[in-house]
Amino acid sequence: MSRTPFIVRFLGATPKQGWIAIAIAAAITLVLLPALHLLVPASSPFHVSAYVITLVGKIMCYAIVAVAMDLIWGYTGILSLGHGVFFALGGYAFGMYLMRQIGRDGSYQSDLPDFMVFLDWKALPWYWTGSDSFLWSLLLVLVVPALVALVFGFFAFRSRIKGVYFSIITQALTFAAMLFFFRNETGFGGNNGFTDFKRILGHSITAPEMRVTLFALTAAMLLGTLVLGRYLVTSKFGRVLAAIRDAESRVMFIGYNPLHYKLFIWTLSALLCGIAGALYVPQVGIINPGEMSPANSIEIAIWVAVGGRATLVGPVLGAFIVNLAKSFFTVAFPEYWLFFLGALFVVVTLWLPDGVVGLWRKLRNKGVAA
């Protein structure tokens, strides 16, 4: 029996049109936009401003979270309303490194981060050990959100907590984490969080080259996440996930243990969120407990719903649509943003159950039939 090598199957899961779209997206995000930002003078109409690079980079981080959310909600039917906590944990893990990179350039010219000097702490708490190491911080980015998800998921799924109960518990999780991080004694800067970052690996964080590097890394991560997601949902593993979504007890009676399947996809989803958080923090220059607010996690679900559940590319579109609208509204009509968000959610729930992608498919099918 000849077996197709794994790498071929992995890449082959994404269809040809998908690869064409990925190639176009890669050309724009990895070549075109960076070149227009770095090489074209600011006076030219073709210059892409730092604002645009940062905004798109930020939204791509959100898009990674949206795809991660789609894996667990769209494909497995588990609605998490606490995914913000994994995003924030990844952000904090990398934020610790960024704080240490400030060195003695802070307001107090101390080796300790400013907020610790302010609290009159004399030494770093034990859990800041190694935070000056870039590699250790990357390890924390990967391990901390995944470990929290693994432990939480193990107990929740083993107890067979499902549906709205699971959603409520995840809301409680992110809310509890937010309160915990608000405390000054927790050692993560209290309600101010981390900010005033200066450097990554000794290079200035505000330099255009650094901005473009982070932007390109985020784009590559997003595209990689899509390819990985596509493999997962088209594999047998993904079919079992869909089966769990449809009829979990049936899955057990044909001999699968849903606990392991749910735990894997849940932990992977958290891991992706953590990476997105770590890419987000250096680009926006701040992380604080507000990222863990329950409303933030609900917004993640809205991105996915707007784009279209169980479509992978939909959540990316949803993240862009909602966040571009947010950028526009919060400048033009700041007081109406939440009304708009609420209206959007109602419209999508009532008329677009499959989101933007569902609408597009419907129109295309009509076009074919006509």
Alpha-carbon span 48 to 44, nearest angstrom: 9
Alpha-carbon span 176 to 40, nearest angstrom: 47
Binding-site member from 213, 235, 293, 330 for another protein (CB under 8 A): 235
Alpha-carbon span 89 to 80, nearest angstrom: 16
Position 7 contacts another protein (CB under 8 A):
no
* Piece of 20-28, 156-164, 229-237, 289-297 that binds another protein (CB under 8 A): 229-237
Size of the site for another protein (CB under 8 A): 29
CB nearer another protein, residue 87 or residue 231:
231
Binding-site member from 19, 108, 237, 333 for another protein (CB under 8 A): 237
Which residue type sits at 288?
N
Residue 72, burial from CB neighbour count under 10 angstroms (0-12, 13-18, 19+): buried
Interaction with another protein in 240-259: which residues (CB under 8 A)? 240, 242-243, 245-247, 249-257
Per-residue binder mask for another protein (CB under 8 A), 69-88, x = binder = --------------------
Alpha-carbon span 91 to 204, nearest angstrom: 19
With tokens 């996690």, the residue in question is 297
Minimum CB separation of residue 354 from another protein in Å reads: 12
Binding-site member from 45, 236, 334, 367 for another protein (CB under 8 A): 236
Q: How far is CA 364 from CA 17, 18, 310, 314, 368, in A?
A: 16, 17, 18, 16, 6
Minimum CB separation of residue 315 from another protein in Å reads: 18
CB nearer another protein, residue 138 or residue 242:
242
Per-residue binder mask for another protein (CB under 8 A), 9-48, x = binder = x---------------------------------------
Which residues sit opposite 195 in a β-bridge? 286
Contact 167, 81 (CB under 8 A): yes
Alpha-carbon span 167 to 80, nearest angstrom: 5
Binding-site member from 183, 239, 361, 364 for another protein (CB under 8 A): 239
CB nearer another protein, residue 22 or residue 259:
259
CB nearer another protein, residue 9 or residue 183:
9
With tokens 């990476």, the residue in question is 275
Angle between helix axes 16-26 and 208-234 (nearest 10 degrees) is 170
Give SS3 for 336. Answer: helix
Chain positions contacting another protein, by CB under 8 A: 1, 3-4, 6, 9, 232, 235-237, 239-240, 242-243, 245-247, 249-257, 260-261, 263-264
